[in-house]
Amino acid sequence: MNAPSPSRIQFIALNYSRLQGLRILPLGLVLFAITLWRNLIHQPFPLRILPQLLILVAAALLYWQIDHYYNRVFGRVLQVPRGHLDWLLYLAGGALGLAAFFAEATFPHLPFSPLGLVLAASLLVDYLMLANVTQVRYMPLWPAFGLLIAFCSVLPLLGLDSWWKTIGAQTQLIGMLRAAGLIMAAAGIASHLYFVHMLPGSAQHGRSV
């Protein structure tokens, strides 16, 4: 048995729920799937709203299954309650996200995506909060996904006007949400694989995805 180092043990224990990457998968899929239904906006009421409601219900069910899976296979942990600074950061992030969403909806021809930049910043801040616990050597993929979202956000500034049309979106906002959804889903799966790899018990019992 290769016992993990004390710093790794402390890192996993302190960030247990954050490291469970699949938890972000439903959010990524919701963002991606809801933007696909955006084209139905001119349809009559039930057809316009029903698919989105179904997507939300499916995502909630998926999250419940993922929660059950993590608890059953990897165990339950009651974490130390978060500090005031954490809550303040979450609130500030949420407010910034809403402001960015409305800014982008109001000014659709901005040469960058404020919402994309806020999403990218939130992934990077989340990573820094993780890394701050011990050293910066864990979760190397997380900031890379944040940088990828940031890169998509500034594509018009780099000369790629209307890049969102290549992924079938009508506006930058929809394109950004669609791309962010896909990137978040990929980040979730990659983080999950990394999480499983970090646990010696998983390797020993041959448990993976």
Partner 1 sequence: MVAVFEELAGLDRLIHEPARLSIMTALSAVQSADFTFLQQLTGLSVGNLSNHLAKLEQAGMVHIEKGFVNKRPNTMISITAGGKQSIEDHWQQLEALRKDSQAWKKSQPE
Contact residues for partner 1 (CB under 8 A)?
1-4, 6, 9-10, 12-14, 16, 71-80, 199-204
Least Å from the CB of residue 37 to partner 1:
35
Contacts of 82 (CB under 8 A, 6+ apart): none
Least Å from the CB of residue 138 to partner 1:
14
Q: Which is nearer to partner 1, 150 or 196 (CB)?
A: 196
3-state per-residue secondary structure call for 104-160: HHHCCCCCCCHHHHHHHHHHHHHHHHHHCCCCCCCCCHHHHHHHHHHHHHCCHHHCC
* Residue keyed to tokens 């982008």: 104
Q: Which amino acid is at 167?
A: I
Q: Which is nearer to partner 1, 134 or 171 (CB)?
A: 134
Tokens representing 47 are: 């057809």
| Dist CA 46 CA 38 (whole Å) | 14
Q: Which is nearer to partner 1, 76 or 109 (CB)?
A: 76
Strand spans (E) along 121-177:
none
| Dist CA 120 CA 126 (whole Å) | 10
Q: Which is nearer to partner 1, 2 or 166 (CB)?
A: 2
Least Å from the CB of residue 11 to partner 1:
9
Q: How many whole angstroms from its chain centre is CA 83? A: 22
Least Å from the CB of residue 24 to partner 1:
20
**Phi, psi angle pair for 98, to nearest 5°:** -65, -45
Q: Which is nearer to partner 1, 71 or 162 (CB)?
A: 71
Least Å from the CB of residue 64 to partner 1:
13
